[in-house]
Amino acid sequence: MKNQNETNSFRGWYTGEHDLILSNLSTQKVTEDHVKPEPSDKDIFDESEKALRGVYDTTSNRRLKSYNLLYQISAVLFCIGLAFALVYTVSYLPSVGDKDTPANSSVVSERYIEKGLEETGATNIVSGMILTYRAFDTFGETNVLFISTICVMILLMLDERILHSRSGKEEEYESKMEFINDPILQTVAKVLCPIIFLFGIYVVLNGQLSPGGGFSGGAILGAGMILYVNAFGIKKTQRFFNESIYKVAKITALTLYGIIGSYFYIMGANGLNNHIPLGTPGSILSGGIILPIDIAVGIEVACTMYAFYALFKRGGL
């Protein structure tokens, strides 16, 4: 029973459900050296933060020390195992400069040029290459955007109580941080924002026909969002693009990309038709999986750009 309780305690500590500092530590005897003036916004500091200020004794808790030691050992073992797996995999790679490797052979490039239009249905060879032959590689790049946004959100997103405690009213805080009363900026934005959004959509949808696609079109859409929020403020932007919509759009786009790419490769690897028509080369509905993937990538890039700007500027979406 004791071992089971310790296991449950460790699981709760690891997942963040159980706070060892608050539930197991005794408080130190408060002296004048430990007394510090309370911050004006004390309601935003939880008990864990107070513990770090020296109110609780973190030096004599054996269970906490054991868990920290186990955590550090596990992290080191995991890193060693991962490094070994990577080095072992690299040992199977061909030697640098080997003439038979795809990088030093003209077979791959000739395939892209000679069979690209027939196999992808895209007149833009670059889009046909990165979104069909190398779709999983591009999927990895899209995942990088997703993960980087999550990391920035974890580091910079602020609790609503913090935002309200700074100014008392959200409107006052917003007026200090944004140029929502600039008539010149608003007039320019009213003219440029629709043009930017339309051009971004055009670039996304036209990726299989000419230079463009999800990455460049998404960057244009993200720039339009940044201009709009600067001109009209975060509250007006949240009427059509708030945090909930952002999460749904970003997760849906990445999931859609993964499903389409997996289906395409699974069917192709087994010699089966994927039932996604290539369309007529040169028309808007062509390129097979390229068009829906471009849309997914465009949404992902636009959301990432806007999220980075909003988080670095204000601390929230």
Report in angstroms the alpha-carbon separations of 222 from 80, 85, 162, 236.
40, 38, 27, 16
> Can you spell out the DSSP letters for 104-166?
G-SHHHHHHHHHHHHHH--S-HHHHIIIIITHHHHHHHHHHHHHHHHHHHHHH---HHHHHHH
Burial 212-240 (b: 16+ CB within 10 A, else e): bbbbbbbbbbbbbbbbbbbbbbbeebbee
Q: What is the pLDDT of residue 166?
A: 55
Backbone angles phi, psi at 121, to 5 degrees: 75, 10
Closest CA to 61 of 18, 33, 25: 25
Alpha carbon distance 58, 61 (integer Å): 6
Q: The pTM is what?
A: 0.66
What burial class does residue 35 get, using C-beta atoms within 10 Å of its C-beta: 0-12 exposed, 13-18 middle, 19+ buried? exposed
Q: What is the pLDDT of residue 253?
A: 92
Alpha carbon distance 154, 158 (integer Å): 9
Alpha carbon distance 249, 247 (integer Å): 6
Q: Specify the residue for token string 């993964």.
A: 258
Q: What is the pLDDT of residue 99?
A: 75
DSSP state for residue 51 in the 8-state scheme: I
Q: What is the pLDDT of residue 26?
A: 46
Q: What is the pLDDT of residue 217?
A: 93
Alpha carbon distance 68, 14 (integer Å): 10
Contact 125, 116 (CB under 8 A): yes
Alpha carbon distance 158, 130 (integer Å): 37
Q: What is the pLDDT of residue 101?
A: 75
Tens of pLDDT along the chain (317 residues) come to 555 555 566 566 555 565 555 555 444 444 545 455 554 544 545 555 555 555 455 566 777 788 888 999 999 999 999 999 999 998 888 777 777 776 677 777 888 888 888 888 888 888 888 888 888 888 888 888 889 888 888 887 666 565 555 555 555 545 555 555 788 888 999 999 999 999 999 999 998 888 888 999 999 999 999 999 888 888 888 888 888 899 899 999 999 999 998 888 888 777 777 788 888 888 888 888 899 999 999 999 999 999 888 888 765 55
What burial class does residue 255 get, using C-beta atoms within 10 Å of its C-beta: 0-12 exposed, 13-18 middle, 19+ buried? exposed
In this structure, what token pair is assigned to residue 317? 């979406």
